[in-house]
Amino acid sequence: MVHQTYTADILVVGGGTGGTAAAIQAARRGAKTILVSEFPWLGGMLTSAGVSAPDGNELEAFQTGLWGAFLQELQHRQPGGLDNCWVSFFSYDPRIGAKIFADWVQELPNLLWITGLVPLEVFQEGNCVCGVRFADLTVKAKITLDATELGDLLALADIPYRWGWELHSEWGELSAPADYNHLTQRYPVQAPTWVLVMQDFGEAVAPEVPSAPNNDPSQFVGAWDGYGAEQFLNYGRLPGGLFMINWPIRGNDYGEGVGRLIETEETKREFLQECFWHSQNFAHFIQNQLGRRYGLADNIFPHLAHSSFALHPYYRESRRLVGLTTIREQDILPVTGGMVAPLNIDAIAIANYPNDHHYPGIEFQVQPKSMRWGGRTTGTPFTIPYPCLVPIETDGLLVCEKNISVSHIANGATRLQPVVMGIAQAAGMAAALCVELDLSPRNLPVRVLQEALLHDKYAPAAIIPLLNSLPKDPDWLHWQSYYLEEPELYRVHGNSVCLSSCQHQNVDSNNTLTVRKINCFQGIFHHISEQDYKFTITAPSIHRGHTWQIVTLRSHIHEQLQTFCDQQLLTICGRMNHALNWLIVENLSK
């Protein structure tokens, strides 16, 4: 085959969550963009890695940008809604997610998507990245984005990166170890998971799940102790009797010799094979324990032989850039007496996931990063600064996946799908602006990038975490800009100074996910404790006597719930999530 050379304004290498979002944003801004992916599905964690129950940025105030647009599109395309599981407020068939991304890409004539290739060489002129070679082609570009799952371009270009733990002495992170130890040696990074999808075959007998090499059923014993089989399955329940199997407790996380992922191609293949077998053996164990009603789902992923298994593992950590700024644990923790982390003036994306680390068989405690909000526990909001996408010395390159400049400890909160989408949307916008303004990424004024994200005509993205300011509020843009101009006035409780949340009832018809089906119930409100509410239904009669946990993602409902008295009669309109007996409130009245 003739080796071809392409030229573009922007090259995005990797078609995961970050690469897909970055390429779409860059192309929507008008840049000639080429996206090169290894796999035939776009979306990474959200689709091809099988984690179609995303975590983080679940509050309606944070459903902005491409993340909010993706949720809207899912809701329109998936009959029955997204309330299926309890690990996330949004679970969906990964085939629908992959189709959304493919459609978005197809709509852009200035975006060329090439699939089935991995990077082999990075070209540089001086200290500037100017192109990447693949097996059958080379792409020359003004700006290149490393969106690979493991930060491959960093290694190929000899750009300084981190892999593994930093000690407490590095940045004073409270959760970082004082010295290297058995944990840091055994698990230099968090364990990946090879996700698979199982199915409830009902009255039929499911095909037998064969065991794989290295099968040791004892390692899975007790996997759902304390939960029960039904709650275990409901953890990642998808529509249509499907179950996402991504279980961290004696389940299919796999980290034995995880350092092999970046040693050689041979050691990487060895690790991936073992990781795949481990998940197959967990599915074998589940079937043996719960019966032949449950088996591997068919035709979920575009494999010829293993269509119930994701196309690649769900990687929780990769090589991490040494950037102009590094996100540390103290940057993601709540300020004293507050509900939000310190505001970074270079913010370009919002995150709120709790800090969650995965090391099979080992419990590792980090500093708490959570708050009670809307009747449940959620994560402290924090911001991602633009300089953590920019290498210290290399020009012509940005990162936009789990490979941003972040400490090993803080990576547990920055690695999730919605925040990676936000990071990547900013990276794609930054790359396009650099082309427009003929600037290197390090010289791009952050304020120019922030304004472009806020005013994007397709999917405006929030920059400031404001818990009481929804994206469809008429004053949303005003308050975002206000705190960019006056960051010292940002409040520790994360609310804007206005009381506009009382107006939300008037804009419900325009809000992010209101196309979903809601029902109305009358009943008795129970104020159990601070941010802990239950509701016993008295009407309609089909649900009479049933008690549900009340939660909400909406700021004005969050505020109202705190004012109601125990045993008060209420009418609640919302959605039932049977996976964990949640009644997700959309509206309520006395």
Check residue 334 and report its DSSP letter.
Answer: P
**Is 219 in contact with 190 (CB distance < 8 Å)?**
no
Q: Supply the pLDDT for residue 167.
A: 98
pTM of the model: 0.96
Paired sense of beta strands 33-37 and 111-115, if any: parallel
pLDDT at 226: 95
Q: What is the pLDDT of residue 518?
A: 83
The mean pLDDT of the chain is: 95
Q: Tell me, what's the pLDDT at 382?
A: 98
pLDDT at 498 over 80: no
Rounded to a whole number of angstroms, the distance between the first and last alpha carbons of the chain is: 72
CB-CB contact of 245 with 209 (8 Å)? no
Q: What does the angle CA 21 – CA 23 – CA 25 come to, to the nearest 5 degrees?
A: 65
Query: Which one, of 376, 382, 423, lies nearest residue 404 by Cα?
Result: 423
Per the model's pLDDT, the better-predicted residue between 518 and 147 turns out to be 147
Q: What is the pLDDT of residue 1?
A: 53
Cα 526 off chain centre by: 33
Torsion 414-418-424-426 (CA) sign: negative
Q: Which two tokens stand for residue 75?
A: 């809701």
Tokens 């077998």 correspond to what residue?
277
pLDDT at residue 403 in the model: 98
Amino acid identity at 200: D
Q: Which conformational region is residue 216 in: left (phi greater than 0), alpha (psi within -120 to 50 degrees), or beta?
A: beta
What pLDDT is recorded for position 516? 55
Convert the pLDDT of each residue in 414-464 to its tens digit: 999 999 999 999 999 999 999 999 999 999 999 999 999 999 999 999 999
Asked if pLDDT for residue 482 goes beyond 90, the answer is yes
Q: What is the pLDDT of residues 531-590, one digit of tens each?
A: 999 999 999 999 999 999 999 999 999 999 999 999 999 999 999 999 989 999 999 988
Three-class SS state of 303: coil
* Distance in angstroms (rounded) separating the CA atoms of residues 461 and 54: 18
Nearest to 240 by CA among 297, 311, 310, 309: 297
Q: What does each C-alpha distance from 487 to 159, 191, 274, 348, 494 come to in angstroms?
A: 33, 37, 49, 14, 12
Would you place residue 304 in the very low, low, confident or very high pLDDT band (cuts 50, 70, 90)?
confident
pLDDT in tens, 327-365: 999 999 999 999 999 999 999 999 999 999 999 999 999
Which alpha helices (H) appear in 195-262, and where do they start and end? Answer: 229-234
Closest CA to 317 of 123, 455, 166: 166
Q: Give dist(CA 230, CA 290) in Å, integer.
A: 10
229-258 pLDDT tens trace = 999 999 999 999 999 999 999 999 999 999
Of 481, 50, 493, 508, nearest to 236 by C-alpha is: 50
